[in-house]
Amino acid sequence: MGGVSRRDSSYWIDPALLPAFAAAGTDAHRVYTGADAWIERFGADLLLSYKGPRARDAALGELPAWARGAPLAYRRVFGKFIPVKNEERVAPELIEGDASLPPTTIVRENGMRFGIDFAAGYSAGLFIDQRANRAFVRRTAPKRLLNTFAYTCSFTVAAALAGAATTSIDLSKRSLDRGRENLALNDVDAPPGTHRFYHDDVLDVLPRLARRGETFDAIALDPPTFSRGNKGRPWQVERDLGKLLVAALSVAAPGAKVLVSTNCARLDRRGVESAARDALDRAGRSAAFHQEPPLPDVPAGAAARTLWLLLKG
């Protein structure tokens, strides 16, 4: 079964993927990828991300014909402009569809459920290109997961459904609240204290966990490219990824699996591997590298660069 089909310089997914997604309990996936625009499906809604009006209009122009042929029914299209500067980011706006409907929906991914809110901020609530990594977490069933830069806690949900105790850290209290809601959506019922949430800076929490002697057998590191932490401390992934990795390795149990992921355009797979090797050397640890197969709906180069460190004893 094919993955993506080419039409000039743009890619629409092979319609044959849609029944497979439905059978897997997935209605959140990429639909279209172009040089300066892409479309993602979130249940009955579509999100069109674009870098300029020409790319937006080209994708919108091709969408109805592709959707009829797929077939794929949708009720709304939201548009999200991708600015050059992070500070210019704004929430998506409704392009097509009923404006009286709430800007929220619930989507499924491999049977898991996640809340989506197009009005909550720049990101709607689920990063589709991490689907294979969430499946890896659930499949490998860790006992204790540490989810850093947790956002709405999708990795937490995947681990919790596999029976793990989880610790989620994020600077945004609202994101962590949405994470709690995602656990509830999936009927996760656990004793008090099984799932902990830290509204704090990851680089401040990791040393505290290490001092308490806590360890985790799965750790998710998916930091932003740029941000500011506690007391306005600047974060820049190219400069600080190694420091983050060393701190994370201090709480990694023997045999732990550590995900390293970045959307930074200036960090390719080779750069991520180099940072990982350097951090492993500094921490006195060793690991094999693992990468999940590419997603059939996301062309090569259009997803985050991700790498799993499979730590040795």
Residues 245-301: tens digit of each pLDDT: 999 999 999 999 999 999 988 889 899 999 999 999 999 999 999 999 999 999 878
- Of residues 6 and 269, which shows the higher confidence score? 269
Q: Per residue in 156-196, pLDDT tens? A: 999 999 999 999 999 999 999 999 999 999 999 889 999 99
| Per-chain mean pLDDT for the chain | 94
Query: Is it the case that residue 3 has pLDDT exceeding 70?
Result: no
- Name the architecture of domain 128-311: 3-Layer(aba) Sandwich (3.40)
pLDDT of 228 reads: 81
Statement: 4-101 belongs to CATH 3.90.660: no
* 71 cis-preceded (ω within 30 degrees of 0): yes
User: What's the CA gap between 222 and 237, in Å, rounded?
Assistant: 10
Q: Which of 88-97, 206-215, 244-253 has the lowest mean pLDDT?
A: 88-97
Closest CA to 272 of 237, 311, 226: 237
The rounded distance, in Å, linking the Cα atoms of 196 and 198 is 7
Give the range among 32-36, 85-89, 214-218, 275-279 with minimum mean pLDDT.
85-89
Checking if the pLDDT of 6 tops 50, the result is no
Q: Which two tokens stand for residue 177?
A: 């609240």
pLDDT at residue 27 is higher than 50: yes
Q: For the chain, which residues make up each domain, given as ranges?
A: 4-101, 128-311
Q: Tell me the β-bridge partners of 117.
A: 104
